[in-house]
Structure 1
Amino acid sequence: MSAQTSLPAEPPAIALPADHPRIQPGRIGVLLMNLGTPEGTSYWPMRAYLKEFLSDRRVIEEPRWKWWPVLNLIILSTRPGRKGKDYASIWNKERDEGPLKTITRSQTEQLAQRLEGLAGDRIVFDWAMRYGFPDVKSRIRHLQNEGCDRILLVPLYPQYAAPTSATACDHAFRALMEMRWQPAVRVAPPYHDDPAYIGALAASMRASLARLDFEPEVILCSFHGMPKEYLLKGDPYHCQCVKSWRLLREELGLPAERFRLTFQSRFGPDEWLQPYTDETVKALAQAGTKSLAIVAPGFSADCLETLEELDVENREIFLHNGGEKFAYLPCLNDSAEGMDVIEAVTRRELMGWV
């Protein structure tokens, strides 16, 4: 370079008008999403939660003309009181919230701590519920206001299903439709066969079984059910549940007759995925099985369907029909094993962004 040659001068800084919308630097949002919980156990909070949940076309696919009178005239008149009592039995009274909310918050806080060194404060972590609060729409707007022009959605459902994973994403996409400046979005796929998930489940189960004062003759692997019609329409949920069960059984080294697959929480008169958990529990007890354990690997956090339905209702079914020893093995929750899974999924899906 000759002495006469000089580098081009830096362009002058652009002064924005005083009324120009605030512009944040580029950041990445990570939003953990779970199903939801009512805001209280009394009639009106329960009714509001159930109405939002049971009005979702992804959950109930019946025609509106057929379903609407049943929902509004029958179910929302009777079910809030009964379900409110069930929720009250598992309620986190210290925080005045359902356990699903407590656990999802903790999962988010721990994930932020684990990934703090990945990109510093460039990643913003948050959580939302598909039904109830904090709602998905408000949290996506919050992430955008924090300067996130890229958002990773992480549905906390190991197995994909339209009434869970898809409806959570529907809610997020509806929020994006209302934004003038949309962030780029990724959705973490289901992780039903991820080695990190299977390994964490096996480690958690071994630890839980080691704390028991008995060795269960049979362990039921209970997944949330869905109408059989949804499977016939092409929903992959049943196939992914079966694969998770098979891989977990192989990891634990258990024979199929000792580690059985069942489906719980059926609702309404239609046929659901079988075999049913409650009927299996009853049949095992009546056939002479004296000790039983149940695990629910399809749930990333304990909730009403595990803490009340499995640990209370199915315990009573087993003991009242001749069983003697029963144990419910907790979900991964915010344990070290559970956080290993969420961290592995999040790290993988952030690749290329950080």
Structure 2
Amino acid sequence: MKKAILLLNMGGPNNLDEVKLFLKNMFNDKRIIGAPKLIRKLIAFIIIKSRLKEATNNYRQLGGKSPIIAYTEKLVELLNIQLDADVFYVMRYTPPFAKDVLPSLKDYDKIFAIPLYPHYSTTTTASSYDDLFLEAKKLNLENRIQTIHKYYSNKNYNEAIVQRIKEALGTKNPKEYELVFSAHGLTQKIIDSGDVYQKHIKQNVYYARKELAKQGINFHKTHLAYQSRVGPMQWIKPYLEDKLASLELKKVIIYPIAFTIDNSETEFELDVEYKELAQELGFEEYIVAKSLNTLMGNVIKDLYKQMGT
């Protein structure tokens, strides 16, 4: 039996010319902005016009592209060596799109779709599946695709989170540090409409804290906060900037719990913009832990096994 694994993620610009495409595709997604199509297009146009210059400059500082691409390619390369399935990746808002990858999977008997989002949200998992199955139906592949919707409680996943936190901590005493789990925010309106993302994030923090305790790693305090807020609407709280301002100790480790692969929101927003805020707030140390990246290999292998291989 010929098997394929398809890793799904949001994506990011492969070059500076793709920044506009990334923003255009994201803000025209009905799962992101739930307005009628014409109104959504107008809102997207306004957002792109206001954010394009700044976003392009941010990616320029990251080397002219999103780091998500190289990290994902390394993960795929690793898994292709270790598994009895061929591994591919699909991005939602930048190439390679589902329409680019699926035609090459027509000869496969089973396709295991695994989102690189551990927590289910209509804005991430559902959006990626919308696009994947739209294209799969055109090729009569939809019945060969097996899906998974969440895995934040997975043992390998939470052990990998703690490994990254330990790497960030090094030989330092955890009791001298606060640990903040930083998750990508969503508008309160999306949560109020029934999206389970915030519930899953909170449960993930519970499992990660449990694993920290199991390994005898005791921080002064651990916290949850949300980043990436834009626009005038109310977003889920507490906001990361407010959480940083409220911490008792001026030594902090940030773990980007909403992400499995490093991207502009970890390597620029957290590691540059929030770092500047922390310095303004008088922090002695501000450390951002790496996302799982290639450590996702063990998680993917476990999920692949669970999905019925």
Which TM class, normalised by the smaller chain length? over 0.9
The CA deviation at 1:282 is: 2.9
CA deviation digits over 1:126-151, x for unaligned, max 9? 1111111111122111111xx20321
Tell me which of 227, 236, 247 is aligned to 2:207: 247
CA deviation digits over 1:154-206, x for unaligned, max 9? 11111111111111111110002212465511012311111111112112211
Q: Which residue of 1 aligns with 2:236?
A: 273
* SS of equivalent to 2:254: strand
Flag structure 2 segments of 5+ consecutive residues without an equivalent.
none
Q: Which residue of 2 aligns with 1:228?
A: 188
Distance in 1 between residues matched to 2:284 and 2:137, nearest whole Å: 55
Distance in 2 between residues matched to 1:49 and 1:319, nearest whole Å: 31
1:347 aligns to 2:305 (yes or no): yes
The 8 Å contact of residues 260 and 293 in structure 2, kept in 1 or not, is answered as yes
Tell me which of 24, 36, 50 is aligned to 1:51: 24
* SS of equivalent to 1:128: strand
Q: Kindly tell me: are residues 314 and 143 of structure 1, through their superposed partners in 2, closer, same or farther at Cα, counting changes over 3 Å? A: same
* SS of equivalent to 1:334: helix
The CA deviation at 1:221 is: 0.3
Distance in 2 between residues matched to 1:161 and 1:203, nearest whole Å: 25
Tell me which of 278, 281, 286 is aligned to 1:318: 278
Q: Structure 1 length normalisation: TM-score?
A: 0.81
Q: Kindly tell me: are residues 327 and 201 of structure 1, through their superposed partners in 2, closer, same or farther at Cα, counting changes over 3 Å? A: same
Q: Kindly tell me: are residues 256 and 62 of structure 1, through their superposed partners in 2, closer, same or farther at Cα, counting changes over 3 Å? A: farther
Distance in 1 between residues matched to 2:275 and 2:148, nearest whole Å: 35
Q: Which moved more, 1:60-69 or 1:211-220?
A: 211-220
Q: Which residue of 2 aligns with 1:307?
A: 267
Q: Kindly tell me: are residues 51 and 195 of structure 1, through their superposed partners in 2, closer, same or farther at Cα, counting changes over 3 Å? A: same
Q: Kindly tell me: are residues 209 and 77 of structure 1, through their superposed partners in 2, closer, same or farther at Cα, counting changes over 3 Å? A: same
| Greater radius of gyration (CA) | 1
Q: Which residue of 2 aligns with 1:87?
A: 59
Q: Kindly tell me: are residues 68 and 216 of structure 1, through their superposed partners in 2, closer, same or farther at Cα, counting changes over 3 Å? A: farther
1:33 aligns to 2:20 (yes or no): no
The CA deviation at 1:283 is: 3.4
RMSD, aligned CA: 2.1
Flag structure 1 segments of 5+ consecutive residues without an equivalent.
1-25
Q: Which residue of 1 aligns with 2:133?
A: 173
Tell me which of 129, 135, 144 is aligned to 1:184: 144
CA deviation digits over 1:222-245, x for unaligned, max 9? 011111122221111111100110
The 8 Å contact of residues 221 and 245 in structure 1, kept in 2 or not, is answered as yes
**Equivalent pairs, count:** 306
Tell me which of 249, 252, 263 is aligned to 1:289: 249
1:71 aligns to 2:41 (yes or no): no
Q: Structure 2 length normalisation: TM-score?
A: 0.92
Paired amino acid for 1:89: Q
